[in-house]
Amino acid sequence: MDKSLKGKVAVVTGASSGFGEATALALAEHGADIVAAARRMDRLADLEKRIGAKGVQVLSVKCDVQQEADCKNLIAETMERFGRIDILINNAGVMLLGPIEDADTEDWRRMINTNVLGLMYCTHAAVPHMRKQKSGHIVNISSVAGRTARAGSGVYNASKWAVGAFSEALRQETHMDGIRMTLIEPGAAATELRDHITNKEVRDSVNKWAEAMRQLESEDIAAAILYAVTAPDRVNVNEILIRPTDQPG
């Protein structure tokens, strides 16, 4: 094990699959103690074993980031168990694509409540502790969709645009206390994200588009996050846009 993150405590939301799971494992591999959060506790129980096998401490917390009380509890449980929070990976998200007209507006609420408000609630709960420590690192997962809007992706685009705006304001408000902020903007990756799209026609067509190229793997995103969080304290890697080589736009 590389011990470059030894003694650090990392909270990862959406740790039950995809980028979150890969990132929790990568941070543990580098010595960080991990707080893994998601709604599916059976998946976290399995992850807990794999993280524990790396010789670091791990705590699983059930958290629906749409609920502010769950986000507050996530950070409170972290502080109770470890007494500090060094890294917060705001990764939990949903991508319920579809045209604006005739959309099921419940999809919109889930995207905004999860991708935007959930990320904000976790940040709001964590920042006071990082300020007291005079150090911390918040990593927010946006998307290429936070930089390029497309027909059929309006509300997902809006949610990820919001993540970018919030992140830059956060950086300006916290950098003087040694708190770093990294925005990660991945392109198409092979995870279960697209499987949750409720509009079958859209789901099939997005899957067809993505599967026609070499997609990113979750470990590619974990490696980008690792690069940012293991940089020297004086270095604030603010933004990483990472597309598959084959993705045109």
The set of catalytic residues is 156
Task: Give the other-Cβ count within 10 Å of 76's Cβ.
Answer: 13
Q: Which of 186, 197, 199, 222 binds ligand NAP (CB under 6 A)?
A: 186
Q: Which of 20, 98, 136, 244 binds ligand NAP (CB under 6 A)?
A: 20
| CA distance linking residue 5 with residue 230, whole number of Å | 7
Q: Using CB under 6 A, which of the segments 1-9, 24-32, 125-133, 187-195 binds ligand NAP?
A: 187-195
With beta carbons less than 8 A apart as the criterion, state whether 188 and 216 touch: yes
Q: Please, which residue, 132 or 196, has the CB nearer to ligand NAP?
A: 196
User: Residues in contact with ligand NAP, total (CB under 6 A)?
Assistant: 30
Output phi, psi for 182, to 5 deg: -125, 130
Sequence length of the chain is 249
β-pair partners for 12: 36, 89
Report residue 244 as tokens.
């598959």
Quick check: 121 binds ligand NAP (CB under 6 A)?
no
Q: Please, which residue, 2 or 104, has the CB nearer to ligand NAP?
A: 104
User: What single string gives the DSSP state of each residue in 96-112?
Assistant: ----STT--HHHHHHHI
| Extended beta strands in 143-216, E state | 179-186
| CA distance linking residue 39 with residue 159, whole number of Å | 21
Report residue 101 as tokens.
């007209």
Q: Please, which residue, 2 or 246, has the CB nearer to ligand NAP?
A: 246
Q: Which of 1, 3, 6, 40 binds ligand NAP (CB under 6 A)?
A: 40
Q: Please, which residue, 115 or 199, has the CB nearer to ligand NAP?
A: 115
Q: Using CB under 6 A, which of the segments 1-9, 36-44, 169-177, 233-241 binds ligand NAP?
A: 36-44
Query: Rule CB under 6 A: which residues touch ligand NAP?
Result: 13-14, 16-20, 38-40, 43, 63-66, 91-95, 114-115, 141, 143, 186, 188-189, 191-193
